[in-house]
Amino acid sequence: MLKRHRGELLLIAGAVFFSANGVVSKWVLESGLSAMRMTQFRSTFAFLVFFIYLALRNRESMKAKLSEIPTLFAFGIFGFAAVQGFYFFSIARLPVSIALIIEFTAPMWIALWLRFVRKESVSSSMWVGLALGLSGLTLLAQVWRGLTFDGLGIISSLLDALALATYFLMSGALGNKRGGPELLMWGLGTTALFFAIVQPWWSYPTSILSKSIELHGRFAGHHLPGWLLLTYVVLLGTVLPYFCVIEGVRATNPSTASVIGMLEPVLAGVFAWIALNERFNLIQLLGAGVVLVGIYIADKASTKNESAEVK
Given a cut of 50, is residue 54 above it in pLDDT? yes
Rounded CA separation 160/261 (Å): 14
Sign of CA dihedral 15, 16, 22, 25: negative
Give mean pLDDT, residues 281-295: 83
Domain boundaries, the chain: 2-306
Given a cut of 50, is residue 87 above it in pLDDT? yes
Given a cut of 90, is residue 266 above it in pLDDT? no
Rounded CA separation 281/178 (Å): 44
Backbone angles phi, psi at 214, to 5 degrees: -80, 135
Question: In terms of Cα–Cα distance, which of 232, 200, 188 is closest to 50?
Answer: 188
Residue 212 parent element (H or E): strand 212-214
Question: In terms of Cα–Cα distance, which of 201, 211, 210, 235 is closest to 31?
Answer: 211
Residue 295 vs residues 17, 97, 173, 220, 255: alpha-carbon distances, Å: 18, 19, 23, 35, 11
Rounded CA separation 17/159 (Å): 25
- What pLDDT does 311 receive? 42
Comparing 83 with 46, the larger pLDDT belongs to 46
Backbone angles phi, psi at 261, to 5 degrees: -60, -20
Over the range 1-11, which residues count as b (16 or more CB within 10 Å of their CB) and which as e? eeebeebbebb
- What pLDDT does 310 receive? 40
Q: Are 145 and 290 in contact (CB under 8 A)?
A: no
Least confident of 128-142, 143-157, 203-217, 244-258: 143-157
- What pLDDT does 146 receive? 60
Given a cut of 70, is residue 58 above it in pLDDT? yes
Least confident of 15-19, 186-190, 275-279: 275-279
Comparing 302 with 137, the larger pLDDT belongs to 137
| Type of residue found at 237 | G
Backbone angles phi, psi at 225, to 5 degrees: -65, 145
Rounded CA separation 224/96 (Å): 27
How many residues are given for the chain? Answer: 311
Backbone angles phi, psi at 223, to 5 degrees: -130, 150
Most confident of 40-49, 82-91, 247-256: 40-49
pLDDT in tens, 172-189: 778 777 888 888 999 999
Q: Are 130 and 256 in contact (CB under 8 A)?
A: no
Most confident of 101-105, 229-233, 251-255, 271-275: 229-233
Rounded CA separation 288/100 (Å): 14
